[in-house]
Amino acid sequence: MSTSGAELLRLVKSQIQEVDPAEVNELIGEGVTIVDVRGSEEFATGHLPGAKSIPRGHLEARIDSAAPDRTAELILYCQSGNRSAYAARTLQEDLGYERVRSMTGGITLWKDRGYEVEIPRALSAEQRERYSRHLLIPEIGAEGQQKLLDAKVLLLGAGGLGSPTALYLAAAGVGTLGIVDDDDVDLSNLQRQVIHSTQRVGIPKVDSAEESIHALNPDVNVVKYKTRVDASNIVEIIEGYDVVVDGVDNFPTRYLLNDASVRLRIPVVSASILGFDGQLSVFKPYDGPCYRCLFREPPPAELAPSCGANGVLGVLPGTMGLLQATEVVKLILGIGEPAIGRLLLYDALAATLTEVKVHRDPDCPICSRDPDEIADEELGVFPDYEAFCAAAG
């Protein structure tokens, strides 16, 4: 004789542990993983604070990333406590979770008791479709996508590195992209600066970049700065941004950006390119070293060929710029291991990516001090630069 649905539910509930909403309420914010197994549309109408959304149909596939430790405490809930009971049995019997419990009465009882419900800001139907591949990743989801949409990222330079970075950050839905560049599009840029186009040769790079970004994703608010950054305007420009992407082509601006970003505590994702080689690191003020900790002084002219016109493999800024974009997204989402305290070295000809360690310099002229002590006139102080640029031609 076959089992009825009601009998099966009773059987399942007898095989698992349940937990009362009162106890769950005590555990909120204590580091216990809470998973909402309802559909994503139900989740969007309101969920327990801090709960992760894994619809029951995706449970087996996605639980590992939400709850990698099978011995850690795990609480599941649904609307009324039935779907989460089945889900708890699956995790316990099939996947070996040792301390999984299902919340009695689901979110309905939770609400009846008057406990807090978090209502996520809803993505529009178009956004749900546009960012659907993000929403499928548990580490991002609707919550992560909202963080991206709320984020403000400043790109210093809309050139080789800035082009791919801007395009992919726009595609990913970073809500505000500031772009600083004083130049106009030149035909010789187009071998690598893929955000511009042949028809737009001669127009300002910031306008050209804005056109490409809006063609790709009209959600993005583009803030244009057609100017060169210098000590007089850098603080005003970078203040208020969450992350700055350093893709500038000269040392004075790199040191200036470093000093200002340390003072404002804004993380910088930095890359540089030359020939077939690229370097990348993330400088997060006071969490890791700054650019001056890594390179105390700029090299002299003969070892700093960036001042003059030097060649670069056209695809190399694509590679390095997208590594930068990846680091930016990780910083915004708070996931993974950003390249803080590490310098990644990419050798395109050898096809190798190696890294060296970067330490905070206890004697760093900038980041060994309190940010409020860094004065305006100290920003970007740089020995004899004009002289050595002139020497480099």
* Minimum CB–partner distance for residue 238 and other proteins (Å): 16
Nearest CA-CA partner of 64 in 25, 26, 97: 97
338 is a contact residue toward other proteins (CB under 8 A): no
CB of 297 to other proteins, least distance (A): 4
109, 262, 358, 366: which one contacts other proteins (CB under 8 A)?
358
| By the rule CB under 8 A, 375 interacts with other proteins | no
The answer to whether 268 contacts other proteins (rule: CB under 8 A) is no
Is residue 307 part of the annotated active site? The answer reads yes
Closer residue to other proteins in complex, CB, 142/304: 304
Q: Which of 43, 97, 225, 251 binds other proteins (CB under 8 A)?
A: 251
Q: How far is the CB of 202 from other proteins (least distance, A)?
A: 21
Cβ-based burial of 121 (10 A; exposed 0-12, middle 13-18, buried ≥19) = exposed
Nearest distance from C-beta of residue 149 to other proteins, angstroms: 27
Which amino acid is present at 282? V
353 binds other proteins (CB under 8 A): no
Question: Which one of residues 55, 162, 267, 338 is an interface residue with other proteins (CB under 8 A)?
Answer: 162
Angular region, 327: left φ>0, alpha ψ -120 to 50, beta rest: alpha
Q: Which of 272, 281, 319, 326 binds other proteins (CB under 8 A)?
A: 272
Q: Which is nearer to other proteins, 86 or 255 (CB)?
A: 255
Cβ neighbour number for residue 215 with a 10 Å cutoff: 9
Residue 233 Cβ, how far from other proteins at the closest point, in Å? 19
Binding characters for other proteins, 278-307, by CB under 8 A (x = yes): -x--------------xxxxxxx-xxxxx-
Q: Which residues pair with 272 in a beta bridge?
A: 279
**Out of 78, 290, 293, 307, which one is annotated catalytic?**
307
Q: How many residues contact other proteins, by CB under 8 A?
A: 44
CA-to-CA distance for 258 and 294, rounded, in angstroms? Answer: 11
DSSP string, 212-233: HHHHH-TTPEEEEE-S---TTT
**388 forms bridges with which residues in the sheet?**
none
CA dihedral 261, 264, 265, 267 (to 10 degrees): -40
Q: Counting contacts by CB under 8 A, is residue 164 touching other proteins? A: no
Nearest to 207 by CA among 219, 190, 222: 222
The smaller minimum CB distance to other proteins, of residues 117 and 392, is found at: 392
CA dihedral 331, 337, 340, 341 (to 10 degrees): 170
Beta strands in the chain (DSSP E): 17-19, 33-36, 52-53, 74-77, 100-103, 152-156, 176-180, 221-225, 243-246, 268-274, 277-283, 342-347, 352-357
CA distance linking residue 203 with residue 370, whole number of Å: 42
Query: Binding residue for other proteins (CB under 8 A) from 136, 187, 335, 350?
Result: 350
Cα–Cα–Cα angle for 165, 171, 174, rounded to 5 degrees: 75
Q: Is 248 a residue that touches other proteins (CB under 8 A)?
A: yes
Nearest-approach distance from CB 276 to other proteins, in angstroms: 7
Q: Where does this chain bind other proteins (CB under 8 A)?
A: 157, 159-162, 246-251, 254, 271-277, 279, 294-300, 302-306, 310, 312, 317, 343, 345, 350, 354-359
List residues with catalytic annotation.
307
